[in-house]
């Protein structure tokens, strides 16, 4: 996950030190990443978009205008672009311009899968200017299969698409390499019906 934010002018007086229990290095990084994401999500009006929905520069300009002013209650905006490795060349160029102008109360979050990161903007454009404006937050995939499987099963039950035990959902999550969206797409196609 990559987050683009403007440089902070000064530290907020509400900032507090985080005391975490003794964790190994990976768990510490994961805990810090989750804490940061929770802070961002709780303080911002959030809009989530698939990269494929950004079909051109006008879509980026429209998003930028939509999130220029402060949200209700004086909060900021968070624009989350999922599957960032699918962004088109013209959209990446428009994002470079947009990120130069974002106000301090707006944050853009670009998410991708581990596989997607390997080909992030591959052969699309020189992505270094865009990536240099981002902070990378790597979220570990360890130990996520069971909670993802249980949540996927809950969603399937709510939608009437469940007919298999949780072990089948565990296999599904492993097949999808913990890509929750991919698993939900397969469930929606009826794969977990009895």
Domain map (residue ranges) of the chain: 2-136, 145-188
> Which DSSP state fits 10?
S
Which residue matches tokens 């959209």? 91
Q: Tell me which fold the domain 2-136 belongs to.
A: Rossmann fold (3.40.50)
CA 43 to centroid of chain Cα atoms: 16
Nearest to 149 by CA among 134, 167, 136: 167
The pLDDT value given to residue 76: 80
Q: In the prediction, which pLDDT does 170 show?
A: 92
Q: Can you tell me the distance from the alpha carbon of 100 to that of 180, in angstroms, rounded to the nearest whole number?
A: 32
Give the residue among 44, 48, 20 at the shortest CA–CA distance from 34: 20
Could you tell me how many residues make up the chain?
194
Tell me how far apart the alpha carbons of residues 74 and 63 are, in angstroms, rounded to a whole number.
18
Phi, psi for residue 73 in degrees, rounded to 5: 85, 10
Q: CA angle, corner 133, sides to 178 and 8, nearest 5?
A: 105
**How would you classify residue 162: left for phi > 0, otherwise alpha for psi between -120 and 50, otherwise beta?**
beta
> Residue 124: which of 101, 100, 96 has the closest Cα?
96
Q: How far apart are CA 194 and CA 188, in angstroms?
A: 13
93 vs 168: CA distance, rounded Å: 42
Residue-by-residue pLDDT tens, the chain, 194 positions: 555 545 444 444 444 444 444 445 566 666 666 666 666 555 667 788 888 888 888 998 888 888 777 766 667 888 888 888 888 888 888 888 888 888 888 888 888 776 666 666 655 556 667 677 777 776 655 677 888 889 889 989 988 999 899 999 999 988 987 778 888 889 999 999 87
pLDDT at 172: 93
What pLDDT score does 10 carry? 45
Write down the pLDDT at residue 11. 42
């Amino acid at each position: 996950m990559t987050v683009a934010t403007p440089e902070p002018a000064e530290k907020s007086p509400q900032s507090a030190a985080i005391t975490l229990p003794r964790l190994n290095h990976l768990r510490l990084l994961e805990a810090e990443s989750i804490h940061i994401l929770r802070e961002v999500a709780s303080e911002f009006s959030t809009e989530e978009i698939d990269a494929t929905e950004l079909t051109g520069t006008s879509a980026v300009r429209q998003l930028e205008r939509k999130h220029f002013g402060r949200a209700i209650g004086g909060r900021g905006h968070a624009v989350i672009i999922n599957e960032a490795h699918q962004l088109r060349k013209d959209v990446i160029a428009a994002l470079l311009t947009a990120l130069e102008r974002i106000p301090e109360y707006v944050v853009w979050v670009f998410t991708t899968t581990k596989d997607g990161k390997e080909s992030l903007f591959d052969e699309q454009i020189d992505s270094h200017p865009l990536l240099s404006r981002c902070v990378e937050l790597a979220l570990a995939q360890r130990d996520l299969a069971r909670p993802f499987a249980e949540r996927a099963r809950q969603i399937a039950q709510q939608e009437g698409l469940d007919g298999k035990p949780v072990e089948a959902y565990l296999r599904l999550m492993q097949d999808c390499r913990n890509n929750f969206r991919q698993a939900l797409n397969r469930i929606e196609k009826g794969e977990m019906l009895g």
